[in-house]
Amino acid sequence: MSTREILTIQLGHYSNYVGAHFWNIQELSFDYTGTVKTEVNHDILYREGQTSTGEVTYTPRLLLADLKGSLKTLPATGGLESATNDEGDLPWSYVEKIEDPPAEKNEFLSDIEAENPPDTQDKKYILEDNINTWTDYLYPRFHSRTINVIKSYQHGDEHEGFDIGSTGRSIWKSDYGDTFTDNIRKYVEECDSMQGFQVNFDCYNGFSGLAIGCIEHLADEYSKTVLAYPIIPSYFNDNNPANQEERDTSNLKDSMRLVNIALAIEELSQNASLFVPLCTSDKGWRKPGNPRSFEYVSYNHALYYHSSALLASALDTLSQKYRHKTNIYTLSDMCADLTGYGRKMAAASLRLPFAFHESEYLIDYLNTTTQPIYTPITPSCKIATDKIFQLITVRGIPENYLKAPMKEAKEQMNIPAYRCRDIKEMFELYFQANNFLSATNVTVCDKPLEVKNPYPNIFSDKLNKYGFIQDDARTSNIQSCPVIAGYHNGNFMADMIEKLHREVSRIKFAKLHKFKEEGLEAADYQECLDRLAEFKDNYEDDFEL
């Protein structure tokens, strides 16, 4: 079986929050006993190597970037003891002398690093008050070339923030970018049949420019698919100003974020194979807005630890499409299917958990529900029901939940869906009935999403340990849950781009002095906005599937 490797690139602090949950989900679902059927080909995202002492390692094929001071408990060398990469070269940060005292570790990190670690899945951790950065709940350790710290900017510095896309562009053109591209090359040279690149990045600050520089490099140097996720947090610290001065500061920061987003999306329309903006709040542009609602989930949208877990769950589920062992569908196939007519931007959705009663059948639930079975996680986006193309992934619904046996079926026999032989057929019939002039490709995975520690405790006690609704309150930790996630594209995306263009056009660029100081001219800025408006036109012509 061909490995079909993918290199993942994470750029930015919030994207690393998402990434920490994503890699936790991967690693905590590994089976080391050989007794569990594995649906996913983990070699697509992971690589095998060795430490300098000969110990075999299995680490994410990953490059990430963050600012100085963001790592806390995680060494810049990735955290593996006696770590060195296989070619014998050391990362440029390896010999840096660390003067700061070691950061204090929370209970979860202390447990997993103890000499005789306890079973962390038997404990209930309350980490919400002990998460200061994404490394505070990171379970895996990384290859020595994975972490690339931008040392010229300090994380959390309010006076000299890394908040302009042009600044990230400048960093990319420096020695930092040369080192980063060299690390990309080393990963690519290790691959036998590479699918392409998955780039997750903060699109509202300096990392937007760093990401665009990186994606341009990937497009120029490698004839591979580039799937990008520009990510916006669900909340910013300046979203609730208390006085006029704070309101003025918040509005200025908001305008800067909005310009960064607009510039990034326009550039992605030229250089990415496909890009899917992500945010768990409804607006995204200007202020993120109200948090999206997920039934049987109660999360604090102001906590990155919470909101990033939802996005990571979506990414893990969506990526099943091109990581499943039985599926020959590749990253290139997926991007080609979704991006007809120059529509390179798509929306994403999530239903977490996809919960119905433990004594109910799927056929009854789908036949009676009047609500959409997924929630958009793309900003300023309401997914249409007609004239769309969508790729849906369903996971974690056992076949015995499909329908009643014939001798017990009773009224179910009168439902056309009773003829469906499996989960896939039933969902295909559901979407055929509910989406006019649309095409839906459904992937079904047996294995549910595993939400083991340190996944946040955001699920209702009405769910049993497998994520289905029960009559009695749950007393033990939830271990897994069924999930639906999807990619969607169609005319409805034009409205999203129009909202972004309208908001950013209201900004008086002359007042954003920092952009001009970083080299962005007003004429170039206006030209970018014009191209963004032209990109919207790709979604406005009627088409037939």
Alpha carbon distance 397, 355 (integer Å): 10
Single-letter residue type at 25: I
Alpha carbon distance 544, 448 (integer Å): 35
Alpha carbon distance 447, 444 (integer Å): 9
Alpha carbon distance 296, 280 (integer Å): 16
Torsion of CA 256, 262, 266, 267, to 10 degrees: 30
- pLDDT, tens digit (0-9, with 9 covering 90-100), for 498-511: 999 999 999 999 98
Which two three-digit tokens encode residue 6?
């993918």
Please, are residues 391 and 441 in contact by the beta-carbon 8 Å criterion?
yes
Kindly give the residue spans of alpha helices, DSSP state H, lying in 357-445: 362-368, 423-434
Q: Kindly list the structural domains of the chain, giving each domain's residue range(s) and its CATH number in brackets, ordered by start.
A: 6-338 (3.40.50.1440), 348-492 (no CATH), 494-537 (no CATH)
Alpha carbon distance 542, 162 (integer Å): 41
Please, are residues 283 and 295 in contact by the beta-carbon 8 Å criterion?
no
Q: What angle do CA 172, 178, 183 make, to 5 degrees?
A: 110
- Report phi then psi at 222, rounded to 5: -130, 130
The reported pLDDT for the residue numbered 545 is: 46
The reported pLDDT for the residue numbered 332 is: 95
CA 3 to chain CA centroid, Å, is: 22
- pLDDT, tens digit (0-9, with 9 covering 90-100), for 83-96: 444 444 444 444 44
Which two three-digit tokens encode residue 166?
């042009």
Please, are residues 478 and 465 in contact by the beta-carbon 8 Å criterion?
yes
| Cα→Cα distances 46→27, 222, 401, 438, Å | 10, 20, 33, 35
Which two three-digit tokens encode residue 308?
């990033």
Alpha carbon distance 272, 339 (integer Å): 11
- Rounded to 10 deg, the angle between the 206-221 and 175-190 helix axes is 50
98, with CB counted inside 10 A (0-12, 13-18, 19+), is exposed
Render 34-97 in DSSP notation, one character per residue.
S-S---B-GGGTEEEEE-TT--EEEEE-EEEEEEET--TTS-TT-B-TT---TTSPPPTTTTPP
Nearest to residue 277, comparing CAs of 349, 206, 197, 385?
349
Please, are residues 85 and 147 in contact by the beta-carbon 8 Å criterion?
no
Residue with tokens 């996630």: 485
Handedness of CA 491, 496, 500, 506 (dihedral sign): positive
Alpha carbon distance 199, 155 (integer Å): 21
Contacts with 244 (C-beta within 8 Å, 6 or more apart), sequence order: none
Alpha carbon distance 214, 347 (integer Å): 22
Please, are residues 210 and 11 in contact by the beta-carbon 8 Å criterion?
yes
Which is it for strands 6-11 and 62-68: parallel, antiparallel or unpaired?
Answer: parallel
Residue 206: its H or E element: helix 206-221
Alpha carbon distance 471, 465 (integer Å): 13
Please report, in tens digits, the pLDDT of each residue of the chain (545 residues total).
468 999 999 999 999 999 999 999 999 888 877 777 788 999 999 999 887 777 888 999 999 999 999 999 899 999 886 444 444 444 444 444 445 567 789 999 999 988 888 888 888 899 999 999 999 999 999 999 999 999 999 998 877 889 999 999 999 999 999 999 999 999 999 999 999 999 999 999 999 999 999 999 999 999 999 999 999 999 999 988 999 999 999 999 999 999 999 999 999 999 999 999 999 999 988 889 999 999 999 999 999 999 999 999 999 999 999 998 887 889 999 999 999 999 999 999 999 999 999 999 999 999 999 989 999 999 999 999 999 999 999 999 999 999 999 999 999 999 999 999 999 999 999 999 999 999 999 999 999 999 999 999 999 999 999 999 999 888 788 999 999 999 999 999 999 999 999 999 999 999 899 999 988 999 999 999 999 999 999 998 654 44
Alpha carbon distance 524, 505 (integer Å): 14
Alpha carbon distance 153, 13 (integer Å): 13
DSSP state of 412: G
Please, are residues 224 and 195 in contact by the beta-carbon 8 Å criterion?
yes
